Structure 1
Amino acid sequence: MSRTFHAALAAALLALFLAPSLARADEKGGPPKEPETPAPQTDEPVAPADEAAGEEAPKPDRTAEVRALVAELMPEVARLRGLEWKRPVPAFALPREKLSEHMLADLDTEYPADERERDDRVMHRLGLLAPDEKLLDLVLGMMRDMVAGFYDPKEGELYLIEGPVGEGMKPTLVHELTHALDDQHYDLDGMEEKHEDDPDRVFAG
Structure 2
Amino acid sequence: MRQDEDGESYLQNLPLDEVLELIDWASGFDVTAPKKSSVNAAVPTTRRILEFQDRYLTSKTSFTAYDASEGALYVLFLLCLALHPDAPGIFAVDSFDHAMHPRLARETTKLFCKTILEQDKTVFVTTHNPLVLDGLDLMNDDIRLFAVNKSRKSGHTSLQRIQVTKELMDSGYSLSRLWTEGRLGGVPNL
- TM-score, L = length of structure 2: 0.22
**Larger fraction in strand:** 2
Using structure 1 for the length normalisation, give the TM-score: 0.20
Whose helix proportion is higher, 1 or 2? 1
Which structure would you say has the larger RCO, counting Cα contacts within 8 Å and 6 or more residues apart? Answer: 1
Query: Rg bigger for which structure?
Result: 1
